[in-house]
Amino acid sequence: MSEWSKKDIIQVKTLLYSTIVSLEIISEEDEMVQGEFGDVEAVIQWKIGDVAAGYMEIKNSRVKAHMDIIHPDPTVIITLTDPVAARDLLNGRADATKLFMKGKILVEGDTKKAMKLLSVNELVEDYIMILTKKR
């Protein structure tokens, strides 16, 4: 496991919170994303080392973001312990499936719902990419 620098912590927290809040906003506005969520109901908990946590509550085709908190009974827990893998996943530079196969991501709970989140993530990439692009 890599060591977490102050820069890693700031970058990963910023990316996680931006991603979760962005999904909330996008799910309110984009009908294609709403359709992709369909009737999925889930709580997706993110844990990134000991530095960042948050969860997304998916219900009625919408996402509600919650930062700096652990849900008592999430449907899925996605854990990343490596700062480079976390940063690369959250800024769209890494493939979640490949990171999972390498053991960089641990997924606990209903993996079907985790996979649904990944398919929705592809739809919202264009919205989020502008946030992570260097100018």
What is the pLDDT confidence band of residue 60, given thresholds at 50, 70 and 90? very high
Least confident segment among 30-39, 46-55, 67-76: 30-39
Decide if 134 is inside a domain.
no
Helices H, strands E: what count in the chain? 5, 5
pTM, two decimal places: 0.85
Alpha helices per DSSP H over the chain = 6-29, 31-37, 83-90, 96-101, 111-132
Decide if 51 is inside a domain.
yes
Residue type present at position 96: A
Decide if 70 is inside a domain.
yes
Is the per-residue pLDDT at 94 higher than 60? yes
Radius of gyration of the chain from its Cα atoms, rounded to whole angstroms: 14
- Residue 124's pLDDT is 67
Domain that holds residue 45: 6-128
Decide if 55 is inside a domain.
yes
Is the per-residue pLDDT at 126 higher than 80? no
Q: What is the DSSP letter of 72?
A: S
- Residue 135's pLDDT is 52
Is the per-residue pLDDT at 121 higher than 80? no
CATH number at residue 104: 3.30.1050.10
Domain count, the chain: 1
Q: Classify residue 72 as exposed, middle or buried by CB count within 10 Å of its CB (0-12, 13-18, 19+).
A: exposed
